[in-house]
Amino acid sequence: MKNQSVTSNLDWITVLLYFILVVMGWLNIFSTSIPIEFIEFDFSDFYGKQLLFIILSIPIIIVVLTIDAKVYEKFSFVFYIIGIVSLLGLFVFGKTVKGQTNWYGFGSFGLQPSEFVKTATSLLIAKFLSDSQVFLKNTRHQLIAFGIILLPVFLILMQPDAGSAMIFLSLILVLNREGLPEWYLWTGFIAIVLFFMALLIQPIYILIGIIVIMIFHYLRARRVDRNPLAYLIVFVAATSFVLSVGFVFDNVLEPHQKDRINVLFSDDVDLKNEGYNLNQSMIAIGSGGLIGKGFMEGTQTKGGFVPEQHSDYIFTTVGEEWGFMGSTVVILLFVTLFLRIIYLAEQQKTKFSRVYGYCVASILFTHYFVNITMLIKLFPTIGVPLPFISYGGSSLWSFTILLFIFLKLDANKVNEW
């Protein structure tokens, strides 16, 4: 007889990783937000509120684990609709902060629905793909899958919050795992590469490069695969894409988005204006050295040089105070968590659970990737939180729900046939 209790089937490794990350996150938030003269614990300060968020996440976890696993699959569409409505509601009831309308305000607390919509969208994608009639080779099914993802993306872009919208695009990795023709991923990947290359080097050189690669491909391809029309289409598409990058950059991107790309590639930036954040973030991390300046000893952290250090820039505190060693520990904890989720996903007996697991891994990984690389000048600045570490109730709770639904599904797999 199999033990059906949630606690005994729960993947405690993942739970442990979760708690370690949350505690590390809180320690760093504490360090960034306590005043020099620490007198008494203050629940209205960032560290105090985050502690409340952490404590409140425990009943949330219990609720998530108690709800019957089938509910998530059955009501996925309902969750999705609620999510979409909550996004629409923002345009009426939302609070506008720094030009973005992405919050519902409740007194001193706020709720960011786009965080929760990630979970809802993941559930619906999993539900859709788990239908035995659905094949991603089928163009109509592809369109439905893209539609599920792009509807919230569209609404979030209207806020506008390009960072959160971008996270949804990572679900293409899930579709790829589930049989989406590979050229989608390749096209996306090549488009990103070409975009940055077009900003860096003269288009003519890129075009020469494309031609050279195509000639090689042609020579190495089997005779039957040498379809001249295909080469022509690819060439025309790549060329027009490369040539349009300049136009897109100049006319479509917002000034601050242009700045973020300029800051990444150019050394000639104004460190007081558009270059300030990245420069301070690099200084904080770079000055950490091997073992860091010590907990609560970071001079950059104490001086408040890094903006938004408790939220999107929290990893700069890790880098400064815990150094390369501490940063590596945090990064390895994340990687272990991701790989553990993927491993568990592959063990699932139902396609729904597996797809959902992949969604969780992709979303968490994309946050991690975008958040950390933007701090160390590997990627343009895009404001997304670092899961479990960054300050914020919405993000902590939504990541908690996202993760623990999967753990519930995983714990339930013994009951699946």
Q: From the list 73, 146, 331, 413, which residue makes contact with other proteins (rule: CB under 8 A)?
A: 331
Rg, the chain, Cα only:
23
Q: Is 188 in the site for other proteins (CB under 8 A)?
A: no
Please list, in sequence order, all residues whose beta carbon lies within 8 angstroms of the beta carbon of residue 105, skipping any fewer than 6 positions away. 95
Within its chain, how far is the Cα of 147 from the centroid? 19
Q: Using the rule CB under 8 A, is 328 a contact of other proteins?
A: yes
Determine, following the binding rule CB under 8 A, whether residue 39 of this chain makes contact with other proteins. Answer: no
342 touches other proteins (CB under 8 A): yes
Residue 49 or 367: which CB sits closer to other proteins? Answer: 367
Stretch of residues binding other proteins (CB under 8 A), selected from 6-14, 71-79, 144-152, 329-337: 329-337
Using an 8 Å Cβ cutoff, are 409 and 356 in contact? yes
In the region spanning residues 287 to 306, those forming contacts with other proteins, defined by CB under 8 A, are 287-290, 297, 299-300, 302-305
Half-sphere exposure of 91 (CA within 13 A, CB side): 10
Nearest CB to other proteins, comparing residues 50 and 309: 309
Query: Cα dist. 383→235, 239, 350, 392 in Å?
Result: 34, 31, 35, 13
- Residue among 364, 352, 318, 324 at smallest CA distance from 32: 318
With H, G, I as helix, E, B as strand and everything else as coil, classify residue 362. helix
Binding letters toward other proteins, positions 117-156, x by CB under 8 A: ----------------------------------------
Give 163 or 319: the residue with its C-beta nearer to other proteins. Answer: 319
Our finding on whether 369 is near other proteins (CB under 8 A) is yes
Calpha distance 369→271 (Å, rounded): 24
- In angstroms, give the least distance from the CB of 11 to other proteins: 17
Distance of CA 300 to the CA centre of its chain: 26
Residue with tokens 């968020």: 53
Q: Strand pairing partners for 106?
A: 109
Interaction of residue 327 with other proteins, rule CB under 8 A: yes
Residue 173 binds other proteins (CB under 8 A): yes
Residues paired with residue 202 on neighbouring β-strands, in sequence order:
none
Residues that bind other proteins in the complex, under the rule CB under 8 A: 36, 173, 176-177, 179, 182, 185, 280, 282-290, 297, 299-300, 302-305, 319-320, 323-324, 327-328, 331, 334-335, 338-339, 342, 346, 358, 361-362, 365, 369, 372-373, 376-378
